[in-house]
A and B are shown apart, each in its own frame.
Chain A
Amino acid sequence: MASYIARRLVLLPVVAFGVTVLIFALLQFLDPAIRAGAFITNPNQLKAIDAIIRKYGLDQPVYVQYWTWLREVFTGNLGWSQTARMPVGEAILRFFPPTLELTLVAFVPIMLIGVWMGTAAAVHRDRLIDHLSRIFSISFRSLPSFVWGLLVLMVTYGRLNWFPPGRLSLEADLFVRNPEHRFVAYTGLMTVDALLNGQLWIFVDALRHLAGPALTLTMVSIALLVRVMRSSMLEVLNQDYVRTARSKGLAEPVVIDRHARKNALIPVITLSSLTIVGLLGGVVITETIFNFPGIGRWGAFAAQQLDIPGVTGFTMFVAAITVLGNLLADVLYAYFDPRIRLQ
């Protein structure tokens, strides 16, 4: 298994750079003047387009541009992101922790509710709880995330004032930024940093700001998990060993929890690692609606604005996350299902 993991890890930079070649090639279909538009904010600057094309070498052959970029990458410089107003490497480091934090916070309810609801639906097949779970998961899934996001924001912020947008309230934000308070950002995860700094109120404040987007993500992501868990569970419940367990006289909860659910979780593991990858790659709409400074919002913005270094760096990062996520899924799969051996 170790050699399997090692081989997959060796592949990682290859995939990441392969993606950048693809992005670079695709972007070259756009006229240099269009790409120069990324450096322009108003029509009053138009006269400078030719100079901008020359300055950034936008009219050079694609391999020259790629080589220029690659050479910079080897010196540790991923380029300047015009949309983030900072170097690409810094942008990834600044925008990823909030997304990671949001993913971690959202993942807990997604897994707990998803597995519970799926199990309950399978065990009580065609009963009320099964119908309810179907209705919920399908309706959450059927409407786009911006509708749920806006609804959540409107109700939990506009009506109740529980879960405001952004990352921190004004008071907490000013506290964290004030050098006199020596608030150290150890991890970039605001909740964790708050605890490490011993500031419980900042922890609560940060959690309040995470709740809205996490709730939205839960609603949108849970459907698939519920449906997969339910069908997997149904399949397992029909297996011989479950019948054996029951005929041995084991109590029903033991049968379900120990014998059935553990095996039914196997496809869920694959699905959940894909869900994590999806969330880590950025949840553009949710981050935008909740004004959450995550990596997805930046990636989408960079793409819209033809911020080439930004898009390239972002894609490379997402590719790496995807490779790692799939690797994790494989490893977990082998761990939970002894029939599978990685080689």
Chain B
Amino acid sequence: MGSSRKLLALAAVILLAGLTGVAQGQVRNPDTLIYVSFADPETMDPAYAYDTASSTIILWHIYETLVFFSGSSTGTFVPMLATEVPTVANGGISPDGKTYTFKIRDGVKFHDGSPLTAEDVKYSLLRFMFMDRDGGPSELLLAAILDTHGTRDERGALKPGLFAEADRAIQVSGNTVRITLKKPFAPFMSIMAMWSMTVSKKWAITQGDWNGTAAGLSRLNNPKKPEDTSMFNKANGTGPFKFVQWDRAARQVILERHDTYWRQPAALRRVIVRVVEDFGARRLMLQQGDADIVAVSRPEQSGVEGLPGVRIIDDISRLITDGIFMNMNINVAGGNPDVGSGRLDGAGIPPDFFADINVRRGIAYAFDYTTMIRDCWRGKASAGNGPIPKGMFGHPSGGKWYTYDPARAAAAFREAHGGRVWTAGFRFGVLWNTGNATRACIASVLKANIEAINPRFRVDIRSITFPTLLQQYRESRLPVWILGWAADFPDPDNFVTPFMHSDGTYAKAQGYKNPEVDQLILRARFEPDPAKRRAMYAKLHEIAYNDVTTLYSYRVDFQVMRSWVRGWYYNPAFFGPYFYPMSKQ
């Protein structure tokens, strides 16, 4: 199916490329905006959702957060449900950096007409933390506020006392909410800007949701399937759009304008978010004006270029870092096809092959970033110098990185493993997820580059299904793999931790452990002074260069829409289009 999908996409691009549009003239459905994408949302529940498709729909459209990002900035905030962004200067943040006070806005109404209160905010934060489904987003708030990673112990039972602790940490008096963190947590404001979606407590309880007490937690905690939460398929938020219907068979969500919104009501009367998997149909819908904004992947881009009445906005920076990961301690238990013979005999590699820095340096110098960016990203990416992507606070723009240099690569390989790498040669696998054309391309560039250094060097490139890839790398079975990381919240901590901390998602699987790095990451996380934090992240990038465990790159994205769409703007923290300021004319 994977290859037939690819064929399908290819055929679509070829067949449709020559067509011209017919739907010219007036705006179709002027008060309704149709966004067509390719992934179904998982749920409408703000405490369950942790996928891009769900967040695109609910975040800032149905539910709102205490603070919001200012324009296109990810580091400065504007008030949303709070009347003011807390700072140390205005007394909203205590001098020790642990207590945040939010004054809740008056006159905000939920979609059912009831007023927003500070009690709703507290309820929503607690509900978010204590839903804590396996693989859900709850950890983001649990870690920030309570300095813990989950609500359950090893046996799966609720940790005693944790709820009382959370209940104490979030205090309501009148119209203010005061949150006291266990430790200062520098990224807290950006987490609040994304994960403090506020639901109506009264309404939730009437829907049979959590009653707000410790006794009701067992029903709230770790639901088995999305349908098990009462907000799976209904919603009552304060946002500019009301939830009308999610038809899971027709694969569309309908939102309607919230007329008593606390700001100026949206210009659009209706927003429809649809899923259309096939690019051919998506493209034709755009051409005919039956879709206003469509999701298009980079390899499909040529299919929408030059369509009359269609606008492409390119070079949108994304908070995504892509990596080519090298595994320093490959798990070969029970056999591993990707290490060949398992020895340094020209037909395989030993498990500690990448533990030698010279091997990693050799690969870093051999890799031709320029070709990769030109051929695989159509020029729309740049070489990275560490995990923190461009455009994010903490990214050191002048950081050093390796450039294509076959001579230096050869020199490094000659040094590796006492010279045996050079004389014996090697053979190992590079893996990525089936269906990802960009990663397939990156793998072929890497293969060509490495094999050109020495005829005894062999690289096998192979794609496997996404679930298999996840399982295999998690068990440290893959010698080299290609994957990406998208921000949960726009803060460098969310990048250095998975990529570099010895317990981080990727670093752990790579067998990377550098005590200095672990310490720096924690210090930066708890450091309130931005200048000091910046210096620490620059230092981390320097170590990323020296230790070179991963080859980084940063991509830029593009958005395709009808030219009649007005008011579109972008912030790298957005999951998808922000419909509130949009209109059609």
Least CB distance, A215 to chain B, in whole angstroms: 15
Q: Quick check: is B418 within 8 A (CB to CB) of the other chain?
A: no
User: How far is A51 from B139 in the complex, measured between Cα atoms in Å?
Assistant: 14
Q: Quick check: is A204 within 8 A (CB to CB) of the other chain?
A: no
* Contact assessment for B467 and A288 in the assembled complex, using a CB-CB cutoff below 8 Å: no
Q: For residue A158, which residues in chain B have a CB less than 8 angstroms away from its CB?
A: 16, 19, 22, 284, 287-288
Q: A80-B225, A150-B15, A170-B34 are in contact. Are A157 and B288 (CB under 8 A)?
A: yes
Q: For residue B475, which residues in chain A have a CB less than 8 angstroms away from its CB?
A: 33
Q: Quick check: is A342 within 8 A (CB to CB) of the other chain?
A: no
**Closest residue of B by beta carbon distance from A173:** B250
* Contact assessment for A161 and B50 in the assembled complex, using a CB-CB cutoff below 8 Å: no
User: How far is A54 from B222 in the complex, measured between Cα atoms in Å?
Assistant: 12
User: How far is A34 from B29 in the complex, measured between Cα atoms in Å?
Assistant: 44
Q: For residue B40, which residues in chain A have a CB less than 8 angstroms away from its CB?
A: 83, 85
Contact pattern, A 159-188, Cβ under 8 Å of B = 1, otherwise 0 = 101001111001001100100000000000
**Closest residue of B by beta carbon distance from A48:** B135
Q: Quick check: is B392 within 8 A (CB to CB) of the other chain?
A: no
* Contact assessment for B484 and A165 in the assembled complex, using a CB-CB cutoff below 8 Å: no
Of A37, A44, A47, A288, the residue contacting B466 (CB under 8 A) is A37
**Closest residue of A by beta carbon distance from B275:** A291
Contact pattern, B 264-302, Cβ under 8 Å of A = 1, otherwise 0 = 000000001000111011001101101000000000000
**Closest residue of A by beta carbon distance from B2:** A304
User: How far is A94 from B250 in the complex, measured between Cα atoms in Å?
Assistant: 9
Contact pattern, A 292-318, Cβ under 8 Å of B = 1, otherwise 0 = 010001001101101000000000000
Least CB distance, B308 to chain A, in whole angstroms: 13
User: How far is A248 from B105 in the complex, measured between Cα atoms in Å?
Assistant: 97
Contact pattern, A 75-91, Cβ under 8 Å of B = 1, otherwise 0 = 00000100111110001
Q: Quick check: is B159 within 8 A (CB to CB) of the other chain?
A: no
Q: For residue B19, which residues in chain A have a CB less than 8 angstroms away from its CB?
A: 154, 158-159
Q: Quick check: is B374 within 8 A (CB to CB) of the other chain?
A: no
Q: For residue A84, which residues in chain B have a CB less than 8 angstroms away from its CB?
A: 248-249
Q: A158-B288, A161-B23, A170-B290 are in contact. Are A31 and B471 (CB under 8 A)?
A: yes
**Closest residue of A by beta carbon distance from B488:** A44
Q: For residue A203, which residues in chain B have a CB less than 8 angstroms away from its CB?
A: none
* Contact assessment for A33 and B470 in the assembled complex, using a CB-CB cutoff below 8 Å: yes
Q: For residue A288, which residues in chain B have a CB less than 8 angstroms away from its CB?
A: 8, 277-278
**Closest residue of A by beta carbon distance from B12:** A150
Q: Quick check: is A11 within 8 A (CB to CB) of the other chain?
A: no
User: How far is A33 from B475 in the complex, measured between Cα atoms in Å?
Assistant: 10
* Contact assessment for B135 and A52 in the assembled complex, using a CB-CB cutoff below 8 Å: yes
Q: For residue B288, which residues in chain A have a CB less than 8 angstroms away from its CB?
A: 157-158, 161, 164
Of B224, B248, B468, the residue contacting A37 (CB under 8 A) is B468
Q: For residue A40, which residues in chain B have a CB less than 8 angstroms away from its CB?
A: 135, 467, 470
Q: Quick check: is A147 within 8 A (CB to CB) of the other chain?
A: yes
* Contact assessment for A170 and B8 in the assembled complex, using a CB-CB cutoff below 8 Å: no
User: How far is A56 from B133 in the complex, measured between Cα atoms in Å?
Assistant: 12
* Contact assessment for A49 and B471 in the assembled complex, using a CB-CB cutoff below 8 Å: yes
* Contact assessment for B468 and A41 in the assembled complex, using a CB-CB cutoff below 8 Å: no
Q: For residue A304, which residues in chain B have a CB less than 8 angstroms away from its CB?
A: 1-2
Q: Quick check: is B202 within 8 A (CB to CB) of the other chain?
A: no
User: How far is A280 from B254 in the complex, measured between Cα atoms in Å?
Assistant: 29
Q: Quick check: is A39 within 8 A (CB to CB) of the other chain?
A: yes
Of A34, A147, A161, the residue contacting B468 (CB under 8 A) is A34
Q: For residue B486, which residues in chain A have a CB less than 8 angstroms away from its CB?
A: 42, 44
* Contact assessment for A49 and B29 in the assembled complex, using a CB-CB cutoff below 8 Å: no
* Contact assessment for B470 and A51 in the assembled complex, using a CB-CB cutoff below 8 Å: no
Q: For residue B7, which residues in chain A have a CB less than 8 angstroms away from its CB?
A: 146
* Contact assessment for B134 and A146 in the assembled complex, using a CB-CB cutoff below 8 Å: no
Q: A46-B505, A80-B227 are in contact. Are A165 and B284 (CB under 8 A)?
A: yes
Q: Quick check: is B485 within 8 A (CB to CB) of the other chain?
A: yes
In the complex, given contacts A38-B467, A46-B470, what are 13 additional A-B residue pairs having Cβ atoms less than 8 angstroms apart? A33-B474, A35-B467, A37-B466, A41-B52, A43-B485, A44-B485, A94-B249, A153-B280, A158-B284, A164-B290, A165-B276, A173-B250, A291-B278
